[in-house]
Amino acid sequence: MTEDALRQLTVNGAVPAHIAIIMDGNGRWATERALPRPLGHRAGMKAVREVVEGALEAGVKVLTLFAFSQENWKRPPDEIQALMSLLEHYIAKELDELRKNGVAVSVIGDVARLGAPARAAVDRIVTETTGGKALALNLCISYGSRAEITEAARRMAEDVATGRLAPADITEERFAQHLQTARWPDPDLLIRTSGELRLSNFLLWQLAYAELYITPKLWPDFTRHDLFDAILEFQRRDRRFGRVTV
């Protein structure tokens, strides 16, 4: 069935160049099984591998995953520590495979808030996958879109104050170049698992014209077949960007 879906999407039309995913539902997955929440996050690692491999198979060029938000720092310290340990474990386990498959990893967010071991792991995976051409994998860690937009506005204000930029020269395109995602096109498709109907402070600027795909599946249960289903649904959409189809 998964192979059939992959075959269908390759002939159906354009595959989204950039897919963003809000990976939601790890905690609920664990609660439903009477397990500690950290075990839900650990189970979600399998889904990360599934979507990375599925994106490579489908020909997606950019995959952006919302791994840890700035708001997540408000969670209990034990859960935060478990998440940081899981990040280090993921990097140690997946680095060689990602490098072998041509995946270039970038990390978006306020990584200065991470502890030393997590920062070292992040630096390692970014450095050792540099140059990968098959897929750009962006991990949003300690990320918040309002903070990103505020920082971009502050930097542009500094440029105006120092005379490097005239107010009349501020455009959407120039503003976007101050965002952490400036190297990549905006997402074509946003996937959110667990059925929640909100953006959760994720890529608010960049998602302006993205197609939204909401699935009730909890993140640990999400597979590459689910990814292919989302792409097939994307291919059925009529993306007009405000224009009228004649």
Torsion of CA 168, 172, 173, 174, to 10 degrees: 50
The letter for the amino acid at 57 is: E
Choosing from 24, 186, 188, 226, the catalytic residue is: 24
Is 101 one of the annotated active-site residues of the chain? no
Share in percent of the chain as helix, strand, coil (round to 5): 50, 15, 35
Residue with tokens 């014209």: 209
| CB contact set of 69 (below 8 Å; sequence gap of 6+) | 140, 142, 143, 144, 200, 201, 202
Catalytic residue among 4, 12, 26, 72: 72
In residues, how long is the chain?
A: 246
* 149 SS3 class: helix
The answer to whether the beta carbons of residues 136 and 104 sit under 8 Å apart is yes
Q: H helices of the chain, where? A: 2-12, 26-32, 37-58, 77-100, 116-128, 145-161, 172-176, 224-236
**Which residue numbers are catalytic?**
24, 72
